[in-house]
């Protein structure tokens, strides 16, 4: 973390992002809780997350815009806009206003697509290559640390004051983030004018992923996992019903998940530097599968909490390894489009699984649903082991598995073709 913190301006950026992540940790759990409390429906609550993920399906369009605008002013404007989009929640009073929660969830999803895409580019401009994994780990640990208090605080504020209080706090944290980014002085890489037809520019990110195995196969593996893990957005409420816990118990459950994530996150940069990004992805998937199987086997509440912590431990390793690979193997001029293309490729299966989970929770026992999630996660890990067996070999023999980043992995002649080959695959 020292290398990242020594970079001029990173401390201010980190402080602003900390505030924004705190607001997110409050709001994201409250959105689904609010719907559950108004409608009494587990499926309706799970659909909140579907609305959150839908904007990622048109991610390349957002990515094209991000790559055409300097990152710092874009992030300032995006954070101010995000502060405004949560304010309609002040108008929610009864079940007839659930559509407002869904609308805000959709707009929140847009924010979740464009802000990380621009932030990836800003971090690449700000930080030396060797500091990227530390910065990603620091941000991941902080995000997960807020899970220790954020969901519980959000659930408490919701229970005592109502959802409007969380909306006001969340809006304020976005303003803090905007001001922090506005205070930075960053020498950004010059923007390159569009030289191809707009359709070719739009798919440039997807094409880069397709021709870069160390991006394509991890993205597909994560997508296989997300094709089933999204079931949990609805199934978690069935778990609470089975253990005779109120809806507000989602807060403590996510806090325990955060404990596992923080402990894992503090070690993530060391693990990744030791074994390399591809092997670290496998470790993250293994922890997630173990946690999901633990939920299936749990019969007492402490067993459920331990399993949730193990599940949480897999997330930071997976996220930090994947984010670092994305930054190392993507030229700055394509960062927005590649970031949003991965959103499409991972969010499409996630959205499908959330929608499917809302149906399955009415048909199947939660143990069956979590068993399916564990099987899908294992399938993603097996695919990654087979597809990247050559890249995993150096890590197994003790050598670094992190390749040297290519400053321009896509030849101009490839981009000039202007038509992307069909893509299969996935797309948090």
Provide the residue-wise pLDDT of the chain in tens; the chain has 428 residues. Answer: 566 667 777 888 889 999 999 998 888 888 988 998 898 887 788 788 888 878 877 777 888 788 778 888 999 999 999 999 999 999 998 888 899 999 999 999 899 888 988 888 888 778 776 777 778 888 888 887 787 777 778 888 888 888 889 999 999 999 999 999 998 877 766 666 555 555 666 777 778 888 888 889 999 999 899 888 888 878 888 888 888 888 778 778 877 888 888 888 888 888 888 888 889 999 999 999 999 999 999 999 999 999 999 998 998 899 889 888 888 888 877 777 888 888 778 777 877 887 788 788 888 888 999 999 999 999 999 999 998 887 676 544 334 444 433 433 333 322 222 222 222 233 33
pLDDT at site 32: 86
- Residue among 25, 47, 50 at smallest CA distance from 36: 47
Give the C-alpha separation, 197 to 215, whole Å: 25
pLDDT at site 417: 29
Burial of 1 (0-12, 13-18, 19+ CB in 10 A): middle
Give the C-alpha separation, 295 to 206, whole Å: 36
Q: Which two tokens stand for residue 98?
A: 């659930």
DSSP 6-51: TSTTHHHHHHHHHHHHHHHHHHHHHHHHHHHHHH--HHHHHHHHHH
Annotate 268-305 with b (16+ C-beta within 10 A) or e (fewer): bbebbbebbbbbbbbbbbbbbbbbbbbbbebeeeeebb
Give the C-alpha separation, 334 to 215, whole Å: 13
Give the C-alpha separation, 284 to 286, whole Å: 5
Give the C-alpha separation, 132 to 237, whole Å: 37
- Residue among 406, 400, 67, 44 at smallest CA distance from 247: 44
The answer to whether 54 and 343 have CB atoms below 8 angstroms apart is no
Q: How far is CA 204 from CA 209, 336, 415, in A?
A: 9, 10, 7
9's torsion region: left (phi>0), alpha (psi -120 to 50) or beta?
left
Q: How far is CA 32 from CA 35, 50, 155, 265, 336, in A?
A: 5, 11, 11, 26, 29
The answer to whether 257 and 305 have CB atoms below 8 angstroms apart is no
Q: How far is CA 173 from CA 82, 168, 373, 425, in A?
A: 10, 9, 34, 34
The answer to whether 79 and 175 have CB atoms below 8 angstroms apart is yes
The phi and psi torsions of 68 (rounded to 5 degrees) equal -100, -5
- Residue among 121, 51, 42, 133 at smallest CA distance from 85: 51
pLDDT at site 268: 84
Give the C-alpha separation, 325 to 402, whole Å: 8
Q: Dihedral through CA 102, CA 248, CA 170, CA 320, nearest 10?
A: -90
The answer to whether 122 and 72 have CB atoms below 8 angstroms apart is yes
């Amino acid at each position: 973390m020292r290398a990242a913190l020594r970079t001029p301006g990173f401390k201010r950026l980190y402080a602003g992002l900390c505030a924004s992540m705190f607001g997110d940790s409050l709001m994201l759990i409250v959105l689904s809780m609010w719907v559950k409390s108004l409608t009494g429906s587990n499926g309706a609550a799970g659909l909140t997350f579907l609305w959150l993920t839908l904007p990622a399906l048109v991610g390349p369009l957002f990515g094209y815009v991000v790559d055409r605008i300097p990152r710092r002013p874009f992030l300032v404007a995006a954070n101010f806009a995000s502060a405004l989009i949560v304010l309609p929640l002040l108008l929610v009073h009864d079940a007839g206003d659930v559509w407002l929660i869904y609308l805000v969830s959709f707009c929140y999803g847009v924010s979740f697509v464009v802000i990380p895409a621009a932030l990836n580019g800003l971090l690449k401009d700000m930080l030396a290559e060797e500091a990227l994994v530390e910065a990603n780990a620091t941000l991941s640990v902080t995000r997960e640390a807020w899970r220790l208090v954020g969901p519980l605080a959000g659930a408490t504020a919701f229970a005592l004051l109502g959802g409007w209080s969380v909306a006001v706090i969340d809006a304020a944290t976005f303003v803090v983030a905007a001001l922090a980014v506005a205070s930075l002085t960053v020498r950004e890489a010059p923007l390159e004018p569009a030289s191809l037809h707009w359709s070719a520019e739009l798919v440039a990110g997807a094409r880069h992923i397709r021709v870069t195995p160390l991006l394509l196969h991890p993205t597909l593996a994560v997508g296989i996992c997300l094709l089933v893990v999204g079931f949990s957005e609805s199934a978690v409420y069935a778990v609470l019903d089975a253990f005779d816990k109120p809806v507000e118990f989602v807060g403590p459950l996510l806090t325990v998940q955060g404990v596992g994530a923080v402990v894992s996150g503090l070690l993530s940069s060391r693990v990744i530097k030791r074994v390399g990004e591809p092997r670290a992805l496998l470790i993250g998937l293994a922890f997630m599968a173990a946690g999901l199987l633990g939920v299936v086997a749990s019969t007492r509440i402490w067993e459920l909490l331990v399993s949730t912590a193990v599940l949480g431990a897999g997330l930071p390793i997976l996220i930090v390894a994947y984010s670092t690979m994305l930054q190392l193997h993507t030229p700055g001029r394509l960062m927005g489009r590649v970031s949003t293309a991965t959103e499409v490729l991972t969010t499409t299966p996630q959205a499908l699984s959330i929608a499917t989970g809302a149906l399955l929770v009415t048909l199947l026992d939660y143990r069956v649903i979590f068993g399916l999630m564990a099987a899908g996660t294992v399938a993603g890990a097996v695919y990654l082991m087979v597809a990247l067996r050559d890249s995993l070999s150096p890590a197994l023999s003790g050598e670094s598995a992190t390749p040297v980043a290519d400053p321009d992995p896509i030849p101009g002649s490839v981009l000039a073709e202007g038509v992307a080959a069909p893509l299969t695959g996935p797309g948090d």
